[in-house]
Structure 1
């Protein structure tokens, strides 16, 4: 194993793990957190009983009558997510975010023993400082590292070594290659591509026609062992997002205005903590009846972290047109700049 190793770190059942920090006595029983009327995250005892993210809370209770439901602690989730990435950045030379709770990391290790040690140290630090479990995978490429972290769950570390990697590049089910959409998977299955090795029997033109040139090239690179192994850091965060649901589990419903105000407060706190100021705001409204979200935007003349400014903008965006009955909304601060680059106006 001579390639420079890549780590993939992924918090386990993130929303549920955050909610359970204050309820450790529930760690061994089925627990799920609810956003509006849907399961946002279920812990592993709940998953073992068939509870899945995205299902209706009432369906989950029928599946698992002893399931304990909790409201998503949105503010705490965002705070822990920011702190998790602070630890990632402090532990690695490069961090490529995947979502609020996962990332690829280059820890600067030139050998596999060093990468594995760094993975163990990262897991211990996150458990000690944040009180949540994360799983870490180590591999020669991003795909292999992600496959390893998936296998490490829950709360473990796994390594895909050279021998196993060689086998996976032939036998891996095509459904386990992250980033392939459902429609493309169906098309690949129709031409007999069920595992990576099946790609070899498909004429190049046909494979490109079925899944597109970019995906075909990616599959060929995976087969050849030359797929992406570069951790590409995001040098500067360009946006921050907070969201919530109007209805929650065991809490009073919130009006759109109350929800927007809570999101803005959280965003301003996080922006100040990160030393950033925003120049724009996007409000995304999720109708209760489903369907296409309503998106409204505003850009300011100068960047600011001022709560009063952004609360006024959010209020204007909500008042601009008739607001449908909402399941929830998302507020995003855009055009973020470091505070030392903000030019203050004279008047």
Structure 2
């Protein structure tokens, strides 16, 4: 249980508390589930699970469903046993990408120093925006208000002097709040946390530290360097001690590139008909192509993943002659890979398509091959797919229009919290 206070009196003299705290971590609350609630306001307050049925898994769950122990990646059958009254909503990945892209554009209007780390979170360095927009707490409230008004969802914002502290603070701010950790309160804020809260501390590292009696950040900070290094290694030990004392020199790095783009689908029932699997592979390839074009990327390598009914997972890859962002080209490669997989006569439970070896489309300008230069249909397909992207951009986001203009029960709440230097 966090010991960070959840509320604080309204104060007008926060300026000195915010000196040196220009890093914000914006985390969209229960993002996928929130987007679905914005589209379906009548479901607010109900336990909602986003995902497939039967053999599917949970993609996301509302806080009402989480109260029953439902969480992402849980088998849907297990989730429904724990929360049989849940409303199950099928996922709409295109809608999530549209909202995510819109939020990132909004953050880009705040500052050019935006580092997107996933579909639902980003770091900002707002030092340069202070004169124009005010101190970080004011900027955080501006972001929360605009996200709520434009998209009908909420976000939590952590503010600190480093990326480590800002990310931890946003976790304490959830849901729908703001937590500021002043620079002077950094070490006190960290010391009360379990060591597993530090970035990069997984189960093995946590267990190795526990064997030496280290369970909290305070115990880690007060342990000698050599002891920590004996537990987790020389480099990792030095890094963890830096984190324990709040030392995190990483800057906010805009333009973080995706290393791969993929999509997969678990079938409601196992599928023995390969034409059905190929049809789904076509849909997934198109979805990958849309994301490639939206991010200005092209791919050189296509990978397919097949999971059979005995839960055996197989992957096959193929390198293309030239980089592409055309869905049909991705599908043709994926179809050949699917056909080459030895299924041992078993039906298919899951199929996935992934684009690897990504590069910027602008940097991949090349002379067309002889076949491309003489094949008008190839060029026509590329233009047709881009035209469809434009239609989706206009009308896909419109499907969220009601949620954006009428947030459907999403209330405006000002909950800026300043962590005091003394948490005892």
Same fold (TM over 0.5): yes
Bigger shift: residues 152-161 or 59-68: 59-68
Residue 173 of structure 1 pairs with residue 194 of structure 2 = yes
Report how many residues are paired.
342
1:196-228, Cα deviation, whole Å (9 max, x unpaired)? 121244342221121122321222112333224
Rounded Cα–Cα distance in structure 2 between residues aligned with 1:312 and 1:165: 53
Instruction: Pick one of 310, 316, 321 that aligns with 2:330.
Output: 310
Matches for 1:269-280 after TM superposition, within 5 Å: 269-280=290-301
Residue 331 of structure 1 pairs with residue 370 of structure 2 = no
Following superposition, the deviation at residue 344 of structure 1 comes to 2.8
Give secondary structure in 1 for the equivalent of 2:292.
Answer: helix
1:160-204, Cα deviation, whole Å (9 max, x unpaired)? 223542312322211222321111111111211111121244342
Rounded Cα–Cα distance in structure 2 between residues aligned with 1:144 and 1:239: 28
Q: Which residue of 1 aligns with 2:244?
A: 223
Rounded Cα–Cα distance in structure 2 between residues aligned with 1:308 and 1:56: 32
- Gap change, CA 1:145 and 1:190, over 3 Å in 2: same
Q: Which runs of 5+ in 2 are unaligned?
A: 1-17, 270-274, 371-424
Following superposition, the deviation at residue 298 of structure 1 comes to 1.7
Rounded Cα–Cα distance in structure 1 between residues aligned with 2:284 and 2:201: 33
Rounded Cα–Cα distance in structure 2 between residues aligned with 1:227 and 1:198: 19
Rounded Cα–Cα distance in structure 2 between residues aligned with 1:196 and 1:214: 18
- Gap change, CA 1:91 and 1:327, over 3 Å in 2: farther
Following superposition, the deviation at residue 315 of structure 1 comes to 0.7
Instruction: Pick one of 362, 365, 371 that aligns with 1:342.
Output: 365
- Gap change, CA 1:224 and 1:189, over 3 Å in 2: same
Rounded Cα–Cα distance in structure 1 between residues aligned with 2:314 and 2:102: 31
Following superposition, the deviation at residue 10 of structure 1 comes to 1.2
Instruction: Pick one of 216, 237, 245 that aligns with 2:266.
Output: 245
Contact 1:239 1:336 in 2 (8 A): no
Q: Which residue of 2 aligns with 1:251?
A: none
Matches for 1:150-169 after TM superposition, within 5 Å: 150-169=171-190
Q: Which residue of 2 aligns with 1:37?
A: 56
Residue 124 of structure 1 pairs with residue 124 of structure 2 = no
Following superposition, the deviation at residue 346 of structure 1 comes to 4.1
Q: Which has the higher contact order (CA 8 A, sep 6+)?
A: 2
Rounded Cα–Cα distance in structure 2 between residues aligned with 1:191 and 1:134: 38
Query: Higher Cα Rg: structure 1 or 2?
Result: 2
Q: Which residue of 1 aligns with 2:89?
A: 70
* TM-score of the aligned structures, taking structure 2 as reference length: 0.73
- Gap change, CA 1:29 and 1:340, over 3 Å in 2: same
Instruction: Pick one of 338, 341, 344 that aligns with 1:321.
Output: 341
- Gap change, CA 1:109 and 1:275, over 3 Å in 2: same
Q: What RMSD in Å do the two structures reach over aligned CA positions?
A: 2.7
Contact 1:302 1:344 in 2 (8 A): no
Following superposition, the deviation at residue 312 of structure 1 comes to 0.7
Matches for 1:83-232 after TM superposition, within 5 Å: 83-109=102-128, 114-232=135-253
Give secondary structure in 2 for the equivalent of 1:230.
Answer: coil
- Gap change, CA 1:258 and 1:124, over 3 Å in 2: farther
Instruction: Pick one of 29, 34, 38 that aligns with 1:17.
Output: 34
Q: Which residue of 1 aligns with 2:99?
A: 80
Following superposition, the deviation at residue 7 of structure 1 comes to 0.9
